[in-house]
Chains A and B, each alone.
Chain A
């Protein structure tokens, strides 16, 4: 029998591997109910990937602070500054704020020279104060990873979309990211509210903004009574309704605006301030005719 060269065997095996791969790979994507649309993390980690999503979100916050961040040993209650502006808070980095306190010994004092040692935010120029090299876009890989790891982590979408829209001036990318989040979380009023904000503030598309905000309010009203009393949920409903009220006020739909303000008043911690806004709209209504007479939602 003639001896076959090992290279021939190698070529033959490679050809066999390639043929089998073309045969089985398309079928393998449908095994175990996995569809081609599922990402690599789902295939590799299953539901366990959700455990890592929170860590990825924390990493986004770490990058937002250019590494100046408490470790697990510091037992510091961490306020995630990266999410504050998206939740209606203020983006302010106090340079005097230091979670480490005073140096405990000479090694600690020396060591602080070699680690990030000042509270800064990327949105305000970062550690170098150089906006070009310290853009907020650096947090995006972690937010994308967090969304891939746990598609039900709503804050990832709202925070990512906020920075895409405000700091990077990319409203279309913000809308796309929010729509991905909405697809994964069809009942999320937070995502709908954020989507409406982009439509209203960047595209000036009042109709679309109204539609998604009204849907957001509807989704919020479907919450359990217990959920509705939670502070964070009350806050988001107040934001949805006041934004709707402002939209209607701008469109001259006075009665609708008043009704939305009244809805906001039911959950607001400062109902007097909301009442003042209602009074102002009532004054305007008395002075001008209404644009439409449609009943408010």
Chain B
């Protein structure tokens, strides 16, 4: 475990050094504050559109940070040939995969907390309402989803040659899953056989990212989600994360690193 967290620590430090996080945070803050400064009908208490916009920007930023950070980890180690001294420590390939995963996941978690702190301060100062438990649930579920996305990207970085192609493919796949995934069952039922079975199978195979999206509930001031449902979602995320990590390890184990 010590080795895994040592590798993870290096990845977290990389987040501080790179400009991605700072640029995205400043952009999110600027757009949110600009939108919040607009007054409709001279009403100063209107807040939901600001919450909606800010949460959307947080989601987009978190995805970009997670995918971009994860996609370049292993290709960069290979390109700079630092993977060889790392493996000579000795560190196993499985430990590298896990170290990179935890590093990227914790890094995205740190970024997520900073983004949410900004969101809570901005919206709370406007509506004078602090639903702490709802915020905690939203952060936790989104972080679990980012773990799943990290594992997915790590697998992509083993399969695809360049980080740019990994970023593009994972981003498009994740967006499609998030946008279409929840509706595939409805679409399946409207189609004849055998298309119905094919779509329904796809519906059960894909990881359902919408299970971790509490934006609409936060914007609409809905009550806390039952913790049992959150627990099931956590198990669901853990299962898919484990699956992707296993596949990544299987791919990485047999990969020729010298080419």
Residues of A within 8 A of B (CB): 63, 66-68, 71, 73-74, 104-105, 107-108, 110-111, 113-116, 126-128, 130, 132-135, 137-138, 140-142, 144, 164, 168, 170, 173, 177
Nearest chain B CB to A163's CB is how many angstroms away?
10
Known pairs A111-B182, A127-B220 / 10 extra A-B pairs, C-beta < 8 Å: A66-B221, A67-B219, A105-B185, A111-B208, A116-B216, A127-B221, A128-B223, A135-B45, A137-B41, A140-B43
The residue from B40, B211, B229 contacting A140, defined by CB atoms under 8 A apart: B40
18 residue pairs from A and B, CB less than 8 Å apart: A68-B220, A73-B183, A110-B232, A111-B208, A111-B210, A113-B225, A114-B210, A114-B212, A114-B233, A115-B216, A127-B221, A132-B129, A133-B221, A135-B45, A138-B49, A141-B49, A142-B49, A168-B43
> Any chain A CB within 8 A of the CB of B186?
yes
> Any chain A CB within 8 A of the CB of B85?
no
Nearest chain B CB to A286's CB is how many angstroms away?
48
Which residues of B, 189-231, contact A by the 8 Å Cβ criterion? 189, 203-204, 208, 210-214, 216-217, 219-223, 225-226, 229
> Any chain A CB within 8 A of the CB of B46?
yes
Across the interface, name the chain A residue whose C-beta is closest to B229: A113
Per the CB 8 Å criterion, the residue count for chain B at the interface is 40
A104 and B183 contacting across the interface, CB-CB below 8 Å: no
> Any chain A CB within 8 A of the CB of B47?
yes
B41 and A144 contacting across the interface, CB-CB below 8 Å: yes
Q: B222 to chain A: which residues have CB within 8 Å?
A: 66-67, 116, 127-128
Interface-centre pick from A71, A141, A142 (highest chain B CB count, 10 A): A141
Across the interface, name the chain A residue whose C-beta is closest to B206: A107
The residue from B49, B203, B217 contacting A115, defined by CB atoms under 8 A apart: B217
B204 and A107 contacting across the interface, CB-CB below 8 Å: yes
Q: A168 to chain B: which residues have CB within 8 Å?
A: 43
Q: A114 to chain B: which residues have CB within 8 Å?
A: 141, 210-214, 217, 225, 229, 233
Nearest chain B CB to A13's CB is how many angstroms away?
25
Nearest chain A CB to B80's CB is how many angstroms away?
35
Q: A134 to chain B: which residues have CB within 8 Å?
A: 221
Using known A-B contacts A111-B211, A114-B233, A141-B40, determine if residue A67 contacts B217 with beta carbons closer than 8 Å: yes
A177 and B185 contacting across the interface, CB-CB below 8 Å: no
Q: How far is the CA of A142 from the CA of B50 in the complex (A)?
A: 12
Q: A113 to chain B: which residues have CB within 8 Å?
A: 225-226, 229
The residue from A111, A116, A135, A173 contacting B220, defined by CB atoms under 8 A apart: A116
Q: How far is the CA of A140 from the CA of B46 in the complex (A)?
A: 8
Q: How far is the CA of A114 from the CA of B217 in the complex (A)?
A: 7
A107 and B220 contacting across the interface, CB-CB below 8 Å: no
Q: A164 to chain B: which residues have CB within 8 Å?
A: 41
A173 and B45 contacting across the interface, CB-CB below 8 Å: no
Nearest chain B CB to A251's CB is how many angstroms away?
33
Q: How far is the CA of A115 from the CA of B181 in the complex (A)?
A: 14
B203 and A107 contacting across the interface, CB-CB below 8 Å: yes
A73 and B186 contacting across the interface, CB-CB below 8 Å: yes
Nearest chain B CB to A57's CB is how many angstroms away?
14
> Any chain A CB within 8 A of the CB of B48?
yes
Q: B141 to chain A: which residues have CB within 8 Å?
A: 114
Using known A-B contacts A114-B141, A114-B229, determine if residue A130 contacts B221 with beta carbons closer than 8 Å: yes
Nearest chain A CB to B78's CB is how many angstroms away?
37
> Any chain A CB within 8 A of the CB of B20?
no
> Any chain A CB within 8 A of the CB of B27?
no
Nearest chain A CB to B50's CB is how many angstroms away?
9
Q: B38 to chain A: which residues have CB within 8 Å?
A: 141
